[in-house]
């Protein structure tokens, strides 16, 4: 795949619709051409679970003045255009994006959506990795990767995996 959007979301708690950050990387012609990152105010006034806050470092004070999902998604939708989406563990990211669309009464465009986790599991033998999580796959493929659970960093790691495996 040479043209796609790698996307990653972080959530405030166990509710899939509680998106508190979105990162996206645009790849055109096999080259990263643009980036999108924004904090999102989860509604309706979701609490930030201590566990998830410790994972990604985002809390209520970070998002209280942020735009809500429906406003942020208008910009993301334009950013995506007609490109397919890619995520590392598509099942999680797509579930969250669909859930947020439902909460806001928005129609979900059926984006073609690919998964680098699935691709890694198919193409990299299990004995080569201790985990198929994003940092381990990046390390195995020689992709520099920093700041796991930062939505933009995760999207960029995913984009680079996709350029290698898809």
pLDDT above 90 for 19: yes
pLDDT above 90 for 147: yes
Q: Which class for 38: exposed (0-12), middle (13-18), buried (19 or more C-beta within 10 A)?
A: middle
- The C-alpha R_g of the chain, in whole angstroms, comes to 15
Look-up of token digits 């959506």: 113
The pTM score is 0.95
pLDDT tens digit sequence for 21-43: 999 999 999 999 999 999 999 97
Confidence band, pLDDT 50/70/90 cuts, at residue 72: very high
Phi, psi of 120 (to 5 degrees): -65, -40
How far is residue 122's CA from residue 113's CA, in Å, rounded to a whole number?
Answer: 17
The whole-number pLDDT of residue 88 equals 98
Instruction: Select from 24, 153, 18 the least CA-distant residue to 84.
Output: 24
**Which domains does the chain possess?**
4-165 (3.30.420.10)
Average confidence (pLDDT) over 12-26: 96
SS3 of the chain: helix, strand, coil, percent, to 5: 45, 20, 35
Confidence band, pLDDT 50/70/90 cuts, at residue 57: confident
The whole-number pLDDT of residue 53 equals 76
Q: What order do you get walking across the sheet with 31-39 strand by strand?
A: 31-39, 19-28, 4-11, 85-87, 113-115
């Amino acid at each position: 795949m040479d043209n796609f959007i790698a996307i990653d979301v972080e959530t405030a708690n166990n509710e899939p619709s509680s998106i508190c950050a979105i990162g996206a990387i645009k790849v055109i012609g096999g080259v990263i051409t643009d980036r999108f990152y924004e904090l999102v105010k989860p509604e309706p006034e979701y609490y930030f679970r201590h566990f998830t806050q410790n994972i990604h470092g985002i809390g209520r004070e970070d998002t209280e003045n942020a735009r809500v999902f429906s406003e942020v998604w208008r910009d993301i939708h334009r950013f995506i255009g007609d490109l397919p989406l890619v995520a590392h563990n598509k099942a999680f990211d797509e579930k969250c994006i669909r859930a947020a669309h439902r909460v806001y009464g928005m129609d979900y465009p059926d984006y073609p959506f690919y998964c680098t986790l699935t691709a890694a599991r198919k193409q990299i033998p299990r004995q080569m990795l201790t985990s198929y999580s994003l940092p381990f796959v990046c390390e195995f493929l020689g992709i520099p990767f920093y700041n796991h659970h930062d939505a933009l960093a995760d999207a960029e790691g995913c984009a680079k995996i996709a350029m290698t495996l898809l």
